[in-house]
Amino acid sequence: MLLLTSLVRQLLGLAVMAVMAPLFAVGCLFLPPRVWRIKFCNFFGHTMGRFVVWLCGTRIQGNPVPAMNAAMPAIYVSNHTSPLDIFLGIWLAPYGTCGVAKKEVVWYPFFGQLYLLSGHLRVDRGNHGRALEAMREVAELVRGKGLGIWLWPEGTRSRDGRLLPFKKGFAHLALATGLPVVPVVVSGAHRIWRKNSLFIDPGVVTIKVLPAIDTSAWRSETLDQHIADVRQAINAALPPEQQDSVAVAAK
């Protein structure tokens, strides 16, 4: 019964996406400035993201929106354990927030094509040079237009909900833009919609927005330490069952 209900939820969500995403994609064609297209896509994300979160039967504990809006523009970094995180992110990210995704996102049904047309950033993870060039491009864009950035620094979803190592992309963006880093801690999403699973089990997700981290003094020579500090802040705010297993063992 749970599998059938989960499939119905996913099919309904896909059906709504199939209608909404092409409409917004067409709308992007009439908005040549990239910043306009990004904000237009933010509106889609707020609408679609909230709908999918509701469809999954998810209740949000806490109100992260005021803290996120107050920090804007910023680089929002969040842990990643579930497909649900994508919809939480596009729902909660402030208007004017630019997404960062792998280049293969364009092959995602409906959503990928909208993402491409909207002007959000795509990164070629297999080509370090191109990835850095893409980062520089988005840095110039956000500096000049007062935009924010949202990304998941682990680069992939955790299979068991525990925090994974961080990639360096967000820190390079902080160096290039001077924007503060705002850690967003999501707890419980891995129990609602697990990675590579068809099961959706309604429940509660807790979202905490940690204090913004000033990056004005960050330097490339100390980048690894800055990354470790941000990761530790997120790890400490997670419940024990989602903390880095090495960190838990060391306590």
What ranges do the domains of the chain cover?
2-250
* pTM as predicted: 0.91
**pLDDT range class, residue 112, cuts 50, 70, 90:** confident
Tens of pLDDT, residue by residue over 27-49, are: 998 999 999 999 999 999 999 99
Tens of pLDDT, residue by residue over 119-130, are: 888 877 666 677
Backbone angles phi, psi at 168, to 5 degrees: -90, -5
Q: What pLDDT score does 249 carry?
A: 41
Which two three-digit tokens encode residue 136? Answer: 């520089």
Per-residue pLDDT, averaged over 219-239, amounts to: 96
Q: What pLDDT score does 243 carry?
A: 95
SS3 57: coil
Distances (CA, A) of 242 to 79, 136, 152, 207: 10, 33, 16, 13
Q: Which CATH class name applies to 2-250? A: alpha beta
**pLDDT range class, residue 248, cuts 50, 70, 90:** very low
Q: Quote the mean pLDDT of the chain.
A: 89
The label of the residue with tokens 């609408």 reads 47
Task: Give the C-alpha separation, 188 to 121, whole Å.
Answer: 28
Task: Give the C-alpha separation, 213 to 231, whole Å.
Answer: 12
**pLDDT range class, residue 247, cuts 50, 70, 90:** low
Cis peptide preceding 183, ω within 30 of 0: no
The top-scoring range by mean pLDDT among 2-6, 149-153, 194-198 is 149-153
Q: Do 74 and 214 contact (CB within 8 A), yes or no?
A: no
For the chain, give me the number of helices (H) and strands (E)? 10, 7
